[in-house]
Structures are given as C-alpha cells and as structure tokens.
Structure 1
C-alpha cells in the first residue's frame, strides 16, 4: 500500500480475486459500513485510475484507490494560536495540549480551544477539514491529544479503541505514599447526583478499570503511572479519590491546592497501530514545566 494526500491505495492480492471491492474494504481493512456508504456518493473510488462501483468484483493485481477526504464544511472557526505539534502525517495530527486549554469548543469555551488552533493551522496551509478529535482530555489535564484528518482515520481509531488496540498512559502526582508498588482499580463510574460535571463510584455506573504503578515515593506524595483499560470521563481522578490518594490540585475530587492549582495529571503516551501500515505508532508528550517543578519541590522536602 502507498498513499498521497488523502488518497488511499491498495494492490489486490490473489485472495482478493473475485471479491467485491466493498467487501475487501470492510473485511480486510475494517472500513465501517457508514464510511462505505459515504464512498458511494460521488466519484471517490477508482481501479487502475478509472472510476468503479464498490459492488464490482476485483482481480488480483488491480490498484484500488479511495479518496478518503471529500470537500467538507468545517463548523469551527480557525484561530492563529500557539500549537505544539508532536506528530503529523496525512492521517493524524497529535498536539501537546497545555493545562487550561479545552479540546473542543463549548458554549462556555467557544474560542481559544485546541479545535480552533488546529483548524487555524490547517486553513493557513490551505486545507479545509472538520475537527475530529480521536479522544479528549480534561481542560486542566495536559498532554497528548490525537486528531484524525479524515473520516477513515477517525473510524479506524474507533475500531481499534473498541477492540482494545489503543494504549494510553498517564502520569500523575497523588497525595500520600501509595504503599503497593502496582495495582488495579476496578470501580464503576457514574454521574454524581445533581451535577453535570462531577462523577462518583456507583454500582449503577459504567465499568471502569485503571492500572497503576508507583514510579517514585516522596514524603507525602507519590508519582504514579496510569494505564487506562476503559476511558470514562474523569476516570483517573475518580479512581485516585477512591484509592484514598487524590491527585494533587484536584479540588473537585478531594485534592489539595496548596502546591498546584490544577490536577497533577498528564497524558504522556498514546500508542496505536497505524491504519495504513499496521506499524506501531507511539506519540509521547514530555512532562510540562509545572509538574516538573512540583516534583523538584517534593524531592527537596525529603
């Protein structure tokens, strides 16, 4: 396989002989039914350079080409904002989000978001794309945010997420010394009564699993690494409170604001198999200065 900007190509193999193009896309490459239906609208699929219908049966050696990104209307206004790009190719862009910035515009935060910044960056390059974040992190959590550049990339990552193929790793600083070197928190999470924001542990909640490992212990705090097996809203924050060691600075879930005024949580690694090549793609965001400073302060208290 190879690709140009937003053009996906594949050379049919002997096992594809006689198979409909739409079945090759669905079964071999996990194109969703919805995306395949969209591909049938307009001339977006070619074989050996000539337009074809997806219901046609293929022959080994043919080159199947798919236009992944038709012209689309973007509903988010672009802005010229600072943007730290960790990774970019024709399918994805990954941003190191600073604490305090929202990922997607909301009525409360209509401008100044990662979405506005990314769209502004694309518009400056003459590209019109909708903003499709693969995942989101809280406003006061820093670190990796991955955005799909087209519908195919977004759908492929949704498939990987549903099949447990995506590896997400966070680092956080919690109150107190966590005595177990590592552990697993299994506690379902639900929206707290009378709140649109706060979550709580509840038997009626959605299943939530967080793995943790102690990286460093300080006099009255611990640096932990978290791996998410599920992706519930505020999962790490709620689970740390449940563990009895809330994140420093996380006053919504019992954390102390004396040392830092935001939850001491950072999205450090996002790892997935690239949908084009199948190769493992690892995106890393370094620990931001405020958390590095906090760790230095904690070490001095020893």
Structure 2
C-alpha cells in the first residue's frame, strides 16, 4: 500500500483476484459505505492508470488507486489561537489541549475552542478541512486530542476506536491512599437524575471498564495510571468517585479543590495504527505545569506531616 497527500494506492495480491474492488475496500481496508458512496461521485477510482467502477473485479498485480478528497468547506470559524501541535501529516493532527478549552463549540462555549484553533491553523496553511476529532476530553482535562484531516482518516480511526484497537492512557491524582497496586473498575454508567451533565454508576447504564495502576502513593493522595477499555463521558471521574477515591479538584464528583482548581486528569498517550500506512503510532503529551506543581504540594504535605 502506498499513499501521498491525496492518493491511496494498493497492488492487489493473489487472494484479491476475482473480488470486486468495492469488496476489497470494504472488507480488507474497512472503507465505510459512506466514503465508498462518495468515491462513486466523479472519476476517483483507477486501476493501472485507467478509470474503473468499484463493481469491477480485480486480479493479482492490479494497481488500485483512490483519489481522496482533501479540500472541503470548513464547518467552523477559524481563530488565531495558540495550538500545541504534537504531530501533523496529511491525514492527522494531534495536539496537546490545554486546561480550560473545550474540544468543540457548544451553547456555553461558542468560540475560543480547540475546533476554532485547529480550523484557524489550517486556514493559515491554505487548507480547507472539516474539523473531525476522533475523541473528546473534558474542558478541564489536559492532553492528547487526535483530529482526522479527511473523511478517509476519520472513518479508519473510528473503525479502530469502535473495536478497541486504540489505546488511551490517562494520568490522574485521586484523594486518599488506594491500597490495591492495580485493578479494574467494571461499573456501567448512566445519567445522574435531573442533570444533562453529571453521570453516575447505574445498573442500567452503558458498559464502562477502566483499568488502573498505582504509580505513587502520598500521605493523602495516590498517583494513578488509567487505561480505558471503553470511552464513556466522564468515565474516569465517575469510576474514581464510585470506588471512594475522587479525582483531586473534581468538585462535580465529590472531590475538593484545596490542592488544585481543576480535576487532576491528563490524557498522556494515544496509540493506534496510522490510517494510511497502517504503521503503529504513539502520541504523547508532556505532563502539564499545574500537575507538576501539585506533585510538589503533595511532597511538601508529606514532609510537613512527618515533622
């Protein structure tokens, strides 16, 4: 398989002979039905340099070429805002989102969002693209957010996400000392009563599974690594409250803001297969300054209590 900025190419193998190009793209490379439908509009599919229909059947050695759509009408107003770029190519943009910024505009935060910053970045590069985040993190969670730069990249990563092939790692500080070195919280999550924002553990909720590992214990807190097997809204925050150790600073879920004025959670790593090359990708975001200062406070607290 070979790719450039807008061209996807694959040379058919022996097992592909006799199969329709449509079937190869759908079942072998997980092209979505929506993307395949779009490819039918205009001469976007070639075999050995000649236009072909997706319903045609291939043979070993055929060079299948797909013209991917890159320029699209932007769906948001771009803004000239700071953007901490961790990685970018023709298919992906990965950024380190700061605390206090929402991923997508909403009624409460209609502007100055990550979406506005990313759109403005692309506009300055002369690129017209739709904003397609692969996942979202809360306004006061810092760290990695991955954005697809075209429809193909988005549906490829969405396919990986749905099947649990994307690995997300979070770092967080919870109140109290967690006795277990590691464990799994397997409690379903649903809406809390009379709230469109807050969630709670509920037997009729959606399946939610969080793996945790203790990285360090302090006298009044624990530093944890979280690996998400599912991606429910507020999942880590709800699960931490549920097992009696709310995130430091998370007053929505029983935490206190004595040491930190936001919930102490950082999206530190996002691992997946590149949608074009299929090669493993690992995106990491550095530890934010406010959590570094929190570590100092926790160390000082230990020293104070020991004196």
Fold match by TM threshold 0.5: yes
Listed as ranges, the matches of 1:1-302 within 5 Å are: 1-302=1-302
Q: CA deviation at 1:164?
A: 1.3
In structure 1, C-alpha distance between the alignment counterparts of 2:237 and 2:68, rounded to whole Å: 37
Deviation larger for 48-57 or 130-139: 48-57
In structure 1, C-alpha distance between the alignment counterparts of 2:281 and 2:95, rounded to whole Å: 15
In structure 2, C-alpha distance between the alignment counterparts of 1:196 and 1:141, rounded to whole Å: 19
In structure 1, C-alpha distance between the alignment counterparts of 2:39 and 2:266, rounded to whole Å: 38
SS of the residue 2:101 aligns to = coil
CA contact (8 A) 2:183 2:211 kept: yes
Deviation larger for 208-217 or 58-67: 58-67
Q: CA deviation at 1:70?
A: 4.9
CA contact (8 A) 2:190 2:205 kept: yes
CA contact (8 A) 1:6 1:91 kept: no
SS of the residue 1:226 aligns to = strand
CA contact (8 A) 1:175 1:220 kept: yes
CA contact (8 A) 2:70 2:129 kept: no
Deviation larger for 174-183 or 158-167: 158-167
Over the residues paired in the alignment, what is the CA RMSD in angstroms? 1.1
Task: State how many pairs are aligned.
Answer: 302
In structure 1, C-alpha distance between the alignment counterparts of 2:136 and 2:117, rounded to whole Å: 15
CA contact (8 A) 2:208 2:230 kept: yes
CA contact (8 A) 1:99 1:142 kept: yes
CA-to-aligned-CA distance 1:65-119 (integer Å, 9 cap, x gap): 1122254221101111100111112211100000100001112111111111111
CA-to-aligned-CA distance 1:53-76 (integer Å, 9 cap, x gap): 111112322221112225422110
CA contact (8 A) 2:144 2:269 kept: yes
Unaligned segments of structure 2, at least 5 residues = 303-307
Deviation larger for 137-146 or 159-168: 159-168
In structure 1, C-alpha distance between the alignment counterparts of 2:185 and 2:109, rounded to whole Å: 32
CA-to-aligned-CA distance 1:107-152 (integer Å, 9 cap, x gap): 2111111111111111111110000000000000000000011111
SS of the residue 1:169 aligns to = strand
Q: CA deviation at 1:185?
A: 0.5
TM-score, normalised to structure 2's length? 0.96
In structure 2, C-alpha distance between the alignment counterparts of 1:82 and 1:75, rounded to whole Å: 20
SS of the residue 2:137 aligns to = coil
TM-score, normalised to structure 1's length? 0.97
